[in-house]
């Protein structure tokens, strides 16, 4: 990466995870002056002029009143706090101190330098500190130590959660924490060297007078668990504990035992956090403030913070690079550190080594498990993919393997493990790196989930808090999230710059491989028991879905194709999914809200990821996540939640809608939540249906359908089916018909799902499963899907799309785009807040609309079914679709599901929510099972219908063409709208329109978004395809597709393709939400995908334009974030306490009513002797007088000396 990018990235990281966080700091009574610093001050002669660079709230400015103390901090908030104490304060930047040379008698740099993201910047800071120091003047520098008694860091670049203590409670907490920290500090520091390899290298370091005792590998290992444990701690309290949480707890316990720390490791972590906070003072004013450390706080490791590593990975792993760019800080840092600092040993060459090791480990694991790993252009990628697949399939196995690999000194693997437990956004983001290792992906997913939970918690708290909380959110979102997003964007842009194609290829290849494997495995398993596998392997479930779609396709046309082909298709699908997943992972980082992480701001997720990641995933996403995550490791989790833990997803969903209902403010969230619920249901249903279909199709239906379809369309089906469709298309220039058929199949599945969804109430009324499937219905299905999809999507997708369009239309430059994104986010948040009352209604309306859509879809399906003649069906569909759209907008026609959801929301809200969710999940599962059975029965009929539909396909295609035209018009209109109004405004408008769903315009808009989403989907699909195929063929296909889209003449084909894409995307995603849910899923996935991409694009301004699709994705990100927030809120509601600690910065915006908001601060934890080496090598005019370990920090007291240079 260009140096500029690095700088920009590091700056963005610091802004999002240091400065923005410290701006949130308040008076922190906890922070006590460290005795040794006090002594340092007291030893200064009277009348000395000193500056505390990074004074925070100025706790060291009054230690010695016989000095002239100048406090400097970059945080205006903290500066104000310090100023209120009658201190002399200046707002300064450590890198550009506004002091004359040699004007100060002493300088304090307490907990500042560790907030700088690159070695180069740390050196600059040290040199600047030395510059202003007079000859003979003394400086005391403290930086957070990597080796801490209570915390262990796998990498040096970490995002450490910081919980904003409640104002009332904070003092006590702070005190306790401080006391604990002080005690800990006093205690002989544990040798926390977790990184055995790097540690050994690092051991060179030196001088730190106080060394931590042995750095045993065991400890290092324990560290990992510790990390995991930290997340677990958060989960401990949460009632919604998942398996992950349990694992985390167990790990934590184990870690605690290993650590031998008397205190619960939570406390340790807390203390460490507190220590951190103390150290933080320097860089950011607020550091000293209260740092309430929650057990839940688990540091998120950033890799590749330093530049060196980043570029490498980027080349090899574009997607990973994106993530890694932002979050790779840790590893990258090590590399960069080595290069820049020369402290290679100290710095940790690990970053590079670990990645390799990880890759190796992954490979090993993958090889062992999935020997099938397809050779990717880049071995690493392939490995990663494989590993991912493996991980998905065999999470448990992978974990242990990962652990081993991690032991080998893989911070990433550690991160993965830890991230899983901790669910920290950062880790998730690092998960992007996961591409390299599946485990990471899984961890990211987990982290995302955790993050979502956190975010949800925060949001929930906010909701409860009401507007004040909202305002907090706004501030958070606007600042931290935007920053996170920017960070993420930068990372993405970097990766993109390196090679978007490469990224795609890598991801696709890796994903493909993994997916293919998964699919293969799954196929074998499907025959036996499709449902079980879903429940068993969350990841597999999405893959299953995909597989199902593939199988279906295969069934339809696959009779010709062999399993291998299936595998290919699956692989393609998987690749798409994987791409989606990768996106999601990125998003999660963002969540970036998050992550970064994130933060975040954030958005991360970074949030990213967000961190944030989980929430969006949950909402949309439980569906999209499931698919994506499923493909990778993450998907498994959602599915697992849904299927086995159906309660979990359901709970999330339910909770999300509930919060929405409660808090009208979060319209987006609320609608999303319902959508997510629906999606989840749909997904489940779809999965079930697909499984059923697959079973049926595989056995009987497949043959029949395949015969019907396959004869002419077999290749088409293959192509159309899933991502592979694209590739297939390339090969055989797939006809739209084929794709349509496959799509039809998918649509059928979707319809089935939809039926199932509404089915709670609607199913009994309508048992249209057979109809759903009918390929002939494809036209109608497409229409319905497209339209309903837009509707559903409209919630999430709309904004992003519009945003994207806006950004594109406005041709906003990358920086601007970032700003716009941020603004959008903020706007979104604002809109949410502004429309709280309306939001309630809106959310309800949205839910209703969703339900309506589902109903309408079902109805349409029924009608279609009823109208055995497909011509009629088509007509009906077209008309019905439109009507459906209108209906969907009509809030009056609330589907039973909605009502149910509403009821649940209203009633269950707090404690009951869980029960309701669980019940709901159980019911859903039962219904799904029933539906599946029905489906199977009807499937034969459907197949027949589908066979008939073939002749009608042409007509359908015509209709599709018309629809496509309409969609184009809509898109144009949308574009105009977007141009006219800022993306934010547009978003709000869209929401308003949605609210006024009854209006035809809204319907059009919805269609537009759907169209857009389709386009996006197509593009995404293309990307995914490209990535999957890597080969030129994919590009050709893409170009073809684009051409088709562009050319109205080939509108039909394009529409079909687009629809197929959407469908394929959905199917690929393994999104159970077919039909309307599919669209949502697609949009979600797209948005996620775009999110990551957009972030990347945002980062790289030039790239920005290139990745138009990404822009919309970015825009989508906002809604995703919102959705995430909703999810998080829901989750939070369910288990506020538990997740609070987990919340990433992205979630930060949500202040906890009762608890503290969790922020993540970036730290570069120093290894023993690292600071000394930096000073000795790069700041020659500082002579180290003493070096010691105190308060979990490495402290150096140095004196400026005259350096004679000849």
Partner 1 sequence: MKLITHNMLTSKCMKGVTVGYPLKIQAVDVKTTEVDFNPEFISRLIPKVDWNVLCSAAESIGYLEDLPKEVTENYENNVDFLKKAHRVLLEIDIINGELICPETGRKFPINNGIPNMLLNEDEV
Residue ranges binding partner 1 (CB under 8 A): 11, 45-49, 66, 68, 70, 74, 76, 79-80, 83, 88-93, 95-101, 103-105, 128
Residue ranges of E strands in 568-652: none
- Secondary structure (DSSP) of 232-244: HHHHHH-TT--HH
Burial 78-98 (b: 16+ CB within 10 A, else e): bbebbbeeebbbbbbebbebe
Q: Are 230 and 251 in contact (CB under 8 A)?
A: no
Smallest distance, partner 1 to C-beta of residue 71, A: 9
CA 915, CA 903: separation in Å to the nearest integer? 13
β partners of residue 144: 1193
Q: Select 103 or 703, whichever has its Cβ closest to partner 1.
A: 103
What's the DSSP call for residue 284? Answer: S
The nearest distance, CB 547 to partner 1, in angstroms, is 49
Q: How far apart (Å, rounded) are the C-alpha atoms in residues 1173 and 959?
A: 71
Tokens of 184: 């800990």
What does the longest C-alpha to C-alpha distance in the chain come to?
A: 98
Compute φ and ψ for 696, nearest 5 degrees: -60, -50
CB of 8 to partner 1, least distance (A): 9
Q: Minimum CB separation from partner 1 for residue 44, in Å?
A: 11
DSSP 1181: T
Residue placing its CB nearer to partner 1 in the complex, 70 or 261: 70
Minimum CB distance to partner 1, residue 64 (Å): 11
Q: Which is nearer to partner 1, 48 or 637 (CB)?
A: 48
Our CB check for partner 1 shows the closer of 49 and 621 to be 49
- Closer residue to partner 1, CB minimum distance, 14 or 1172: 14
Q: CB neighbours of 661 closer than 8 A, spacing ≥ 6?
A: 670, 840, 843, 844, 847, 902, 905, 906
Comparison of 263 and 281: residue with beta carbon closer to partner 1:
281
Nearest distance from C-beta of residue 58 to partner 1, angstroms: 11
- Collapsing DSSP to helix, strand or coil, 723 comes out as coil
Phi, psi of 1183 (to 5 degrees): -110, 120
Nearer of residues 104 and 932 to partner 1, judged by Cβ: 104
**C-beta of 48 vs 807, nearer to partner 1:** 48
Q: Between 103 and 204, whose beta carbon lies closer to partner 1?
A: 103
Ramachandran region, residue 350 (left: φ > 0; alpha: ψ -120 to 50; beta: rest)? alpha
Q: Are 1093 and 491 in contact (CB under 8 A)?
A: no
Q: How far is the CB of 39 from partner 1 (least distance, A)?
A: 20
Which residue number, 83 or 1044, has a Cβ lying nearer to partner 1? Answer: 83
Contacting residues for 746 by C-beta, under 8 A, at least 6 apart: 549, 552, 721, 781, 1063, 1064, 1066, 1067, 1074, 1078
| DSSP secondary structure letters along 944-1005 | HHHHHHHHHHHHHHHHHHHHHHHHHHHHHHHHHHHHHS-HHHHHHHHHHHHHTTTSHHHHHH
8 Å CB contact between 873 and 775: no
The tokens 């396709």 sit on which residue? 553
Among 1188, 1199, 1175, 1171, which Cα is nearest to 44's? 1199
**Residue 1148 corresponds to which tokens in the numbers above?**
């930060």
CB 48, min distance to partner 1, A: 8
In the Cβ-directed half-sphere of 816, how many Cα atoms lie within 13 Å?
14
Smallest gap, in angstroms, from Cβ of residue 1166 to partner 1? Answer: 25
Q: Please, which residue, 70 or 1041, has the CB nearer to partner 1? A: 70
Q: In the complex with partner 1, which residue's Cβ is closer, 124 or 1108? A: 124
- The closest of 259, 349, 18 to 159, measured between CA atoms, is 18
Question: Least distance in Å: CB of 12 to partner 1?
Answer: 11
The single residue listed with the structure tokens 């991912």 is 388
Residue with tokens 């995933």: 617
- Closest approach of partner 1 to the CB of residue 690, in Å: 52
Nearer to partner 1, 75 or 1013 (CB): 75
Q: What are phi and psi of 998, to 5 degrees?
A: -60, -30
CA 929 to chain centre: 31
Q: Where are the beta strands (DSSP E) in 1059-1169?
A: 1157-1164
Rounded CA separation 381/390 (Å): 14
Distances (CA, A) of 623 to 420, 629, 652, 774, 1082: 19, 9, 11, 24, 9
CA 156 – CA 415 distance, rounded (Å): 12
CA-based nearest residue to 790, from 626, 960, 576, 1005: 1005
Q: Which is nearer to partner 1, 79 or 166 (CB)?
A: 79
State how far the Cα of 962 lies from the Cα of 897, in Å rounded to an integer: 32
Nearer to partner 1, 126 or 722 (CB): 126
State the nearest-atom distance from the C-beta of 1044 to partner 1, in Å: 44
| Residue 1060 CA: distances (Å) to CA of 1006, 1010, 1017 | 19, 13, 9
Least separation, in Å, of the C-beta of 99 and partner 1? 5
Q: How far apart are CB 31 and partner 1 at their closest, in Å?
A: 20
Of 45 and 1206, the one with the shorter C-beta distance to partner 1 is: 45
**Minimum Å distance from CB 78 to partner 1?**
11
Minimal distance in Å, beta carbon 73 to partner 1? 10
CB 608 within 8 A of CB 1087: no
H/E run at residue 331? helix 329-336
Q: How far is the CB of 128 from partner 1 (least distance, A)?
A: 8
Identity of the residue, 76 or 981, whose beta carbon is nearer to partner 1 in the bound complex? 76
């Amino acid at each position: 990466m260009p140096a500029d990018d690095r700088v920009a990235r590091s700056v963005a990281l610091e802004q999002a995870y240091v400065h923005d966080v410290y701006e949130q700091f308040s008076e922190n009574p906890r922070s006590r002056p460290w005795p040794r610093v006090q002594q340092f001050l007291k030893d200064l002669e009277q009348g000395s002029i000193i500056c505390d660079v990074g004074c925070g709230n100025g706790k060291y400015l009054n230690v010695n009143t016989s000095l002239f103390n100048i406090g400097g901090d970059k945080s205006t908030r903290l500066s104000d706090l310090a100023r209120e104490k009658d201190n002399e304060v200046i707002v300064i930047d450590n890198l550009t101190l506004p002091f004359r040379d040699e004007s100060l008698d002493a300088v304090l740099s307490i907990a500042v330098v560790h907030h700088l993201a690159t070695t180069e910047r740390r050196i600059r800071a040290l040199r600047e500190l030395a510059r202003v120091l007079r000859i003979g003047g003394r400086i005391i520098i403290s930086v957070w130590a990597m080796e801490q008694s209570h915390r262990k860091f796998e990498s040096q670049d970490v995002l450490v959660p910081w919980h904003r203590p409640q104002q009332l409670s904070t003092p006590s907490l702070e005190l306790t924490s401080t006391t604990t920290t002080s005690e800990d500090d006093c205690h002989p520091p544990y040798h926390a060297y977790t990184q055995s390899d790097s540690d050994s290298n690092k051991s060179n370091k030196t001088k730190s007078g106080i060394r931590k005792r042995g750095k045993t590998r065991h400890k290092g290992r324990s560290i990992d668990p510790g990390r995991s444990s930290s997340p677990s701690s958060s989960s401990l309290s949460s009632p919604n504990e998942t398996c992950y949480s349990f694992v985390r707890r167990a790990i934590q316990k184990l870690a605690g035992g290993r650590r031998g720390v008397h205190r619960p490791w939570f406390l340790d972590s807390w203390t460490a956090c507190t220590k951190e906070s103390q150290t933080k003072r320097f860089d950011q004013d607020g550091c000293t403030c209260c740092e309430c450390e929650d057990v839940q706080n688990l540091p998120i490791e950033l890799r590749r913070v330093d530049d060196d590593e980043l570029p490498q990975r980027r080349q090899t792993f574009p997607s990973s690079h994106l993530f890694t760019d932002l979050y790779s800080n840790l590893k990258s840092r090590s590399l960069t550190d080595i290069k820049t600092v020369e402290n290679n040993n100290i710095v940790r060459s690990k970053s590079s080594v670990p990645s390799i090791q990880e890759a190796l480990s992954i490979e090993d694991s993958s090889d062992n498990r999935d020997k099938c790993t397809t050779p990717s252009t880049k071995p690493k990628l392939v490995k990663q993919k494989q590993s991912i697949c493996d991980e998905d399939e065999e999470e448990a196995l992978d974990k242990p393997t990962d652990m081993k690999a991690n032991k080998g000194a893989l911070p990433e693997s550690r991160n993965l493990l830890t991230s899983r437990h901790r669910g920290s956004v950062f880790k998730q983001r690092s998960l992007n790196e996961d591409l390299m290792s599946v485990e990471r992906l899984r961890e990211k997913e987990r982290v995302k989930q955790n993050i979502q939970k956190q975010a949800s918690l925060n949001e929930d708290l906010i909701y409860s808090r009401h507007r004040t909380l909202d305002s907090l959110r706004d501030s958070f979102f606007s600042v931290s999230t935007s920053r996170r997003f920017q960070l993420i964007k930068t990372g993405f842009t970097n990766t993109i710059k390196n090679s978007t194609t490469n990224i795609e290829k890598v991801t696709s290849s890796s994903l493909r491989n993994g997916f293919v494997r998964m699919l293969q495995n799954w196929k074998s398993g499907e025959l036996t028991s499709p449902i079980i596998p879903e429940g068993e392997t969350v990841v597999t479930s999405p893959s299953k879905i995909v597989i199902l779609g593939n199988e279906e396709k295969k069934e339809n046309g696959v009779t010709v194709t062999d399993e291998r082909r299936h595998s290919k298709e699956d692989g393609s699908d998987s690749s798409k999914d994987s791409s989606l997943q990768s996106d999601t992972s990125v998003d999660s980082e963002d969540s970036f809200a998050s992550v970064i992480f994130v933060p975040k701001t954030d958005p991360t997720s970074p949030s990213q990821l967000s961190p944030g990641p989980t929430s969006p995933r949950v909402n949309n996403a439980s569906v999209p996540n499931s698919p994506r995550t499923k493909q990778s490791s993450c998907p498994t989790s959602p599915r697992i939640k849904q299927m086995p833990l159906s309660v979990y997803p359901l709970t999330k969903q339910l909770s999300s809608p509930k919060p929405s209902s409660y808090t009208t403010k979060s319209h987006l969230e609320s609608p999303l939540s319902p959508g997510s619920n629906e999606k989840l249901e749909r997904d489940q249903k779809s999965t079930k249906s697909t499984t059923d279909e697959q079973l049926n199709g595989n056995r009987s239906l497949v043959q029949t359908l395949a015969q019907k379809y396959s004869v002419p369309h077999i290749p088409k089906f293959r192509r159309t089916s899933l991502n592979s469709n694209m590739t297939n298309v390339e090969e055989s220039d797939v006809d739209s018909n084929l794709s349509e058929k496959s799509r039809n199949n998918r649509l059928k599945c979707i319809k089935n799902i939809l039926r199932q969804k509404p089915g709670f109430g609607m199913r009994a009324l309508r048992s249209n499963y057979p109809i759903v499937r009918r390929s002939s219905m494809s036209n109608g299905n497409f229409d319905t899907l497209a339209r309903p999809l837009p509707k559903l999507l409209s919630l999430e997708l709309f904004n992003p799309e519009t945003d994207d369009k806006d950004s594109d239309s406005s041709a906003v430059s990358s920086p601007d785009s970032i700003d716009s994104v941020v603004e959008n986010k903020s706007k979104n948040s604002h809109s949410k807040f502004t429309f709280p009352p309306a939001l309630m209604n809106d959310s309800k309306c949205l839910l209703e609309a969703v339900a309506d859509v589902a109903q309408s879809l079902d109805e349409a399906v029924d009608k279609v079914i009823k109208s055995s003649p497909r011509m009629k069906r088509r007509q009906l569909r077209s008309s019905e679709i439109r009507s459906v759209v209108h209906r969907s907008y009509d809030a009056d026609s609330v589907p039973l599901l909605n009502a149910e959801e509403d009821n649940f929301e209203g009633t269950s809200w707090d404690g009951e929510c869980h029960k309701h969710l669980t019940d709901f999940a159980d019911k859903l599962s039962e219904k799904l099972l029933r539906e599946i059975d029905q489906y199977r029965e009807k499937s034969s009929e459907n197949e027949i219908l589908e066979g008939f539909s073939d002749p009608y396909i042409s007509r359908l295609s015509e209709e599709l063409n018309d629809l496509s035209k309409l969609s184009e018009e809509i898109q144009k209109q949308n574009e105009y709208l977007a141009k006219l109004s800022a993306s934010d405004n547009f978003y709000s408008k869209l929401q308003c329109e949605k609210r006024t769903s009854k209006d035809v315009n809204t319907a059009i808009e919805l269609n537009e978004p759907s169209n857009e989403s389709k386009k996006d989907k197509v593009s995404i699909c293309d990307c995914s395809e490209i990535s999957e195929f890597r080969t030129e063929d994919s590009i050709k296909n893409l170009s073809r597709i684009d051409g088709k889209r562009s050319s109205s003449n080939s509108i039909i084909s394009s529409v079909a393709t687009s629809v197929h894409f959407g469908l394929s995307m959905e199917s690929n995603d393994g999104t159970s939400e077919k039909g309307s849910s599919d669209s949502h899923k697609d949009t979600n996935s797209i948005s996620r995908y775009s999110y990551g991409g957009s972030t990347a694009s945002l980062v790289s301004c030039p790239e920005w334009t290139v990745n138009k699709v990404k822009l919309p994705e970015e825009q989508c990100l906002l809604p995703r974030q919102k959705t995430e927030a909703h999810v998080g809120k829901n989750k939070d509601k369910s288990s506020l306490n538990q997740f609070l600690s987990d919340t990433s910065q992205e979630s930060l915006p949500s202040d906890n009513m009762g608890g503290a908001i969790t922020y993540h601060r970036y730290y570069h934890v120093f290894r023993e002797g690292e600071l000394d080496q930096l000073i000795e090598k790069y700041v020659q005019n500082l002579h180290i007088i003493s070096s010691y370990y105190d308060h979990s920090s490495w402290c150096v007291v140095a004196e400026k000396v005259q350096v004679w240079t000849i």
